[in-house]
Structure formats: C-alpha cells, structure tokens
Amino acid sequence: MRIEITLPIKIKSELNIREHWSVRHKRHKKLHKLIWLSFLPHKASISLPCVVTLTRVSSRALDDDNLIGAFKTIRDYVADQIIPGLKMGRADGDPRITWKYEQRKGLPKEYACCILIEDTK
C-alpha cells in the first residue's frame, strides 16, 4: 500500500512565527479540514505499521530542527487520520508509525506539502 497526498499549502516554521492566537487558530482549523478531506478516500486502505514521509516543497530550505517543528501540526492531524479516536496530539506517538521528514526545492512561489504513507508489512 502506498498513498500519496499533495496539499497546496505553505509550511512555515511555527517556532519562529509571532502572531495573534486567533490567526494561528484559523490557519490550523483550515489545515485540519484540508487534511481530513484529503484522507477521506484513503482511510480504509491505511494499515499499521507504516512509514509516513512529510515533504516540504519551497524555494528556500529550513534547517532540520525548524523543518520538524514546521510539520508538528501536520503530523498531529495526519496521525489523527491514521489512528482516530485518541486525544489530539497523542496518535503521533504510536510506535507503529515511523515519521520521516524531507524537503525539496520548488520554483519561486511554489509551495506544497507532500504526504507519503507506505505500508511496512
């Protein structure tokens, strides 16, 4: 099983952003809905254990600690789709899910988040 989902979003490092809580909440709510909609056709075919690779496409690269921090919200929402029913932020700690992070250079003003889920059986 191999599932690839590409979301047309700009991933920012949450560690360096200073913004009002309501702006962040609105962005996270929109992101949560987008991930939920993207996973609807794939939910039945996801099985554990699996490897989830999160790839950031942008014209500029982030260093490794900012890359992981930038994906924290997306990681929580993806894990919630793979293992539903747990409290938000708990499913990503499941040992049956292995997380990998990558980034690749895109064209100027080309932003995307690619989610790849691969079965390890």
Q: What is the CATH number of the domain that holds 30?
A: 3.30.1330.70
Q: How many domains does the chain have?
A: 1
In which band, very low, low, confident or very high, does the pLDDT at 107 lie, cut at 50, 70 and 90?
Answer: confident
pTM over 0.75: yes
Which has more confidence, 91 or 121?
91
Query: How many CB atoms sit inside 10 A of residue 105's CB?
Result: 10
Token output for 39: 């996973």
Q: Which domain holds residue 93?
A: 2-119
pLDDT tens digits, 11-44? 888 777 888 999 989 988 999 999 999 999 998 8
109: left (phi over 0), alpha (psi -120 to 50) or beta: left
What's the confidence (pLDDT) of residue 22? 94
Question: Using CA atoms, how far apart are residues 91 and 83, in angstroms rounded to an integer?
Answer: 6
